[in-house]
Amino acid sequence: MPEKEVEKTIDALLQERRTFEPPKEFTEQANASDPAIYEEAERDPEGWWESQAERLDWFERWDTVLEQDPPWHKWFVGGKLNASYNCLDRHLESHGDRVAYHWVGEPGETRDVSYRELHEEVSRLANALKDLGVAKGDRVAIYMPMIPELPAAMLACARIGAPHSVVFGGFSAESLRDRINDAECKVLITADGGYRKGNVVPLKDNADEALESTESIEKVVVVQRTDEDVNMVEGRDVVYSEIVQAASADCPAEPMDAEDILYILYTSGTTGKPKGIVHTTGGYLTGVASTHHYIFDIKPESDVYWCAADIGWVTGHSYIVYGPLVNGCTSILYEGAPDHPDKDRWWSIIEDHRATILYTAPTAIRSCMKWGVDYPQKHDLSSLRVLGSVGEPINPEAWIWYQEFIGGGKTPVVDTWWQTETGQIVISALPGLTTLKPGSATKPFPGSFADVVDESGEPVGPGGGGYLVLKRPVPAMFRTIFNDADRYVETYFERFGNDVYFPGDGAKLDDDGYYWLLGRVDDVMNIAGHRISTYEVESALVDHPDVAEAAVVGRVDPKEGETIVAFCTVKSGVEGDDDLMQELRGHVAKVIGKLARPHSIIFTDDLPKTRSGKIMRRLLRDVATGQELGDVSTLQNAPILDAIKAKASSQAADDE
């Protein structure tokens, strides 16, 4: 982020100066109520994480807590366990009838799934997958709506030691195809469709399109969710309910090495090729179980916890599936949109289920703010006792609104910083201990070691701004990029040395040592809490026959979040008008998915370039954010900037 943008963001953040002590009644009952936990973990991080690994059931205990050969690290070496066993089997005896998921379908149907029922479904599906030829180590792609069969599919893979690769249901056929091919998945589990804003998302049609060029896929399992007519390919496609019914319910969980792969999850980097983030088993489960327990203050017997993310993102993997199930708690799983059939859908779900914890993203909170307080105020939200935020910096105004109108002015709000790569929350308040400052993710979780450093890697100290780094791995931290160890080292460990992890975020430390996250410092945008690279969107735009060149930047507004602005030059004879803008937005949706559609597209005769022909995105970012232009001395075609500026200001951004 350019210096002046950083300053602007910090100014906006610091306008809100109120702080919030943890309520005494909360601290008295909190899972973390003694500040000594921070000191203990700091003194002996390995001892601390070892104590957290005790939360799991191990078939064989580990020999070594942490083995390091930076940037390679292994946790709980020699230990054996199974993720599905930890999420299901071990709960059966004492609380098998507890609800694992209160599922709510978008059209209105509901279904409660107990731990016992989920265990049976997972065991049957695991056997069915074996019958389809899936063996330990084979990769399985999952492309599904938010229905109970989605966590069941993940756990069935985990049960037999087949790494899953979940692809978000909002991604296009092309995105699905690329991810399947990168991991060479053998089987795809999908559904006929899912519901979103009253429409059917045609998942099977997309899957069929993707499967035209995925050689590794042998079988496709299709859940009948919408009962729409879909094409079933003889010999390749099977119906989920049929194979599950036919399979035996007895499927012992495969003992996995602590360092065996649990899953791969793709995320955007600075090139067009998404990175397959690799998570393993023992450390990952330890990290998510521990953070989920302390940060959300989980009381499994009484809480009704709701993480309103999609399982297709890491938030859903760690805090809808693995963390909550390992901890044996009851969650809400909701299929659809927050404004369907009306803008109070979330609040009515909270009221109906007496939800006690809500975890969502600032972008959703800001939408709710725009819709107005009447919607939450129609409902009794008094059951809520902890609120969480994740995905992007939360502006203090949204934080205060969230606490006031959703939390009734009393609940702690925990802003949690982490990434697909870290697997678990790394910087966050503990709700019974931390004095909250709206807009700050506060402090590293016990056993996590962060800092803010300058260009040369020197700590900036209190009051300084720079790059966020992690000085030690947390157990859930990824181990590599699938099939691309070089990229793992280059992207994350070259900048500050191979024992310092560089997440790609800017941050500021205040005088109390609180962390204020300032957004990405690379060419990765954070759109509604999801990571998209400028390069991916540019590639999708130039893929359209009318576009000659494209440059994409993120426009950051502390109150609005980040939106995508594209600058395009068109081929001769083509007119860059409104129709083309709509067509290009549709094209990007087709190539990547709707979430990557530019908010606005500015057509221009040329793009600002250096003498060597490199597009200067930095200047375009200045134009998009309406800032004074930075240094233009290296520009080969300076006058074009005036023309672009004039166009940008005459063209109002549009969106639905």
Residues 31-90 that bind ligand WT7 (CB under 6 A): none
What's the rounded Cα separation, in Å, for the pair 163 and 152? Answer: 14
* Chosen residue from 48, 417, 445, 496 binding ligand WT7 by CB under 6 A: 417
Q: How far apart are CA 286 and CA 323, in angstroms?
A: 9
Closest to ligand WT7 by CB, 258 or 517: 517
Contact, 498 vs 457, CB < 8 A? no
Candidate residues 418, 482, 496, 502; the one interacting with ligand WT7 per rule CB under 6 A: 418
Return the number of the residue (259 or 505) whose C-beta is nearest ligand WT7: 505
Among 214, 281, 315, 563, binds ligand WT7 (CB under 6 A): 315
Contact 553, 617 (CB under 8 A): yes
180, 83, 94, 168: which is closest to 122 by C-alpha?
83
Report the residue from 9, 206, 290, 419 that binds ligand WT7 according to the rule CB under 6 A.
419
CB of 488 to ligand WT7, least distance (A): 15
Residue 550 C-beta: closest distance to ligand WT7, Å: 23
Site stretch for ligand WT7 (CB under 6 A), options 19-27, 366-374, 409-417, 485-493:
409-417
Is residue 390 a contact residue for ligand WT7 (CB under 6 A)? Answer: yes
Closest CA to 402 of 353, 369, 428: 369
Kindly tell me which residue out of 392, 397, 523, 536 binds ligand WT7, with binding defined by CB under 6 A.
392
Q: For residue 437, state whether it binds ligand WT7 (rule: CB under 6 A).
A: no
Query: Is the Cβ of residue 33 or residue 270 nearer to ligand WT7 in the bound state?
Result: 270
**Residue 395 binds to ligand WT7 (criterion: CB under 6 A):** no
Q: How far apart are CA 284 and CA 416, in angstroms?
A: 17
Of 51 and 271, which CB lies nearer to ligand WT7 in the complex structure?
A: 271
Q: Are strands 261-267 and 275-280 parallel, antiparallel or unpaired?
A: antiparallel
Question: Based on the number of CB atoms within 10 Å of its own CB, is 352 exposed (0-12), middle (13-18) or buried (19 or more)?
Answer: middle
Contacts of 284 (CB under 8 A, 6+ apart): 262, 322, 423, 424, 475, 476
State how far the Cα of 354 lies from the Cα of 461, in Å rounded to an integer: 44
What's the 3-state SS for 267-314?
A: ECCCCCCCEEEEEECHHHHHHHHHHHHHHCCCCCCCCEEEECCCCCCH
For residue 602, the minimal CB distance to ligand WT7 (Å) is 25
The contacts of residue 53 (CB under 8 Å, 6+ apart) are: 62, 65, 76, 79, 282, 286, 475
Q: Is 562 in the site for ligand WT7 (CB under 6 A)?
A: no
Q: Which of 368, 517, 540, 619 binds ligand WT7 (CB under 6 A)?
A: 517
Task: Report the residue number, 155 or 524, with the smaller CB distance to ligand WT7.
Answer: 524
If binding is defined by CB under 6 A, does position 391 make contact with ligand WT7? yes
Q: Which is nearer to ligand WT7, 283 or 439 (CB)?
A: 439
Cα–Cα dist 259/329, whole Å: 26
* Interface region with ligand WT7, contact rule CB under 6 A, candidates 122-130, 231-239, 252-260, 501-509: 501-509
When the beta carbons of 415 and 538 are compared against ligand WT7, the nearer one is 415
- Site residues (CB under 6 A) for ligand WT7, limited to 249-288: 267
Which helix (H) or strand (E) segment holds residue 119: the answer is helix 115-131
Q: Does 536 bind ligand WT7 (CB under 6 A)?
A: no
CA–CA separation, 357 and 363 (whole Å): 18
Q: Is 561 in the site for ligand WT7 (CB under 6 A)?
A: no
Is 477 among the residues that bind ligand WT7 (CB under 6 A)? Answer: no
Is 323 an interacting residue with respect to ligand WT7 (CB under 6 A)?
no
Contact flag: residue 503 with ligand WT7 (CB under 6 A): yes
Q: Which is nearer to ligand WT7, 193 or 554 (CB)?
A: 554
Q: Does 314 help bind ligand WT7 (rule: CB under 6 A)?
A: yes
> What phi and psi, each to the nearest 5 degrees, are found at residue 279?
-110, 140
User: Considering the complex, what minimum distance in angstroms separates the CB of residue 528 from ligand WT7?
Assistant: 10
Element (H or E) spanning 565, and its range?
Answer: strand 561-570
Distance CA(541)–CA(598), nearest Å, equals 10
Instruction: Compute the least distance from the CB of residue 478 to ligand WT7, in Å.
Output: 10
Angle separating helix axes 617-624 and 639-650, nearest 10 degrees? 30
Nearer to ligand WT7, 240 or 478 (CB): 478
Least CB distance to ligand WT7 at residue 529 (A):
6
Binding to ligand WT7 by residue 505, rule CB under 6 A? yes
Can you tell me which of 214, 416, 491, 569 binds ligand WT7, judged by CB under 6 A?
A: 416
Instruction: Name the one residue in this structure whose structure tokens are 């057509």.
Output: 603
Tokens of 220: 């496709």
- CB 530 to ligand WT7: min, Å: 6
User: In 3D, which of 643, 514, 647, 528 has the Cα closest to residue 594?
Assistant: 528
Q: Find the shortest distance in angstroms from Cβ 520 to ligand WT7.
A: 5
Cβ neighbours of residue 54 closer than 8 Å, sequence gap 6 or more: none
Nearer to ligand WT7, 277 or 552 (CB): 277
Query: Does residue 546 sit in helix, strand or coil?
Result: coil
CB of 515 to ligand WT7, least distance (A): 9
Taking CB under 6 A as the rule, does residue 330 contact ligand WT7?
no
Q: Does 161 bind ligand WT7 (CB under 6 A)?
A: no
Q: SS3 sequence, 142-182?
A: EECCCCCHHHHHHHHHHHHCCCEEECCCCECHHHHHHHHHH
520 interacts with ligand WT7 by CB under 6 A? yes
Q: How far is the CB of 509 from ligand WT7 (least distance, A)?
A: 14
Count of residues of this chain found to bind ligand WT7 when the rule CB under 6 A is applied = 25
Examine residue 504 and tell whether it contacts ligand WT7 (CB under 6 A).
yes
Q: Which helix (H) or strand (E) holds 5?
A: helix 3-14
Contact status: 529 vs ligand WT7 (CB under 6 A): yes
CA 361 – CA 309 distance, rounded (Å): 8
User: For residues 636 and 610, is the Cβ–Cβ distance under 8 A?
Assistant: yes
Q: Which residues of this chain interact with ligand WT7, rule CB under 6 A? A: 267, 313-315, 390-393, 415-420, 441, 503-505, 517, 519-520, 526, 529-531
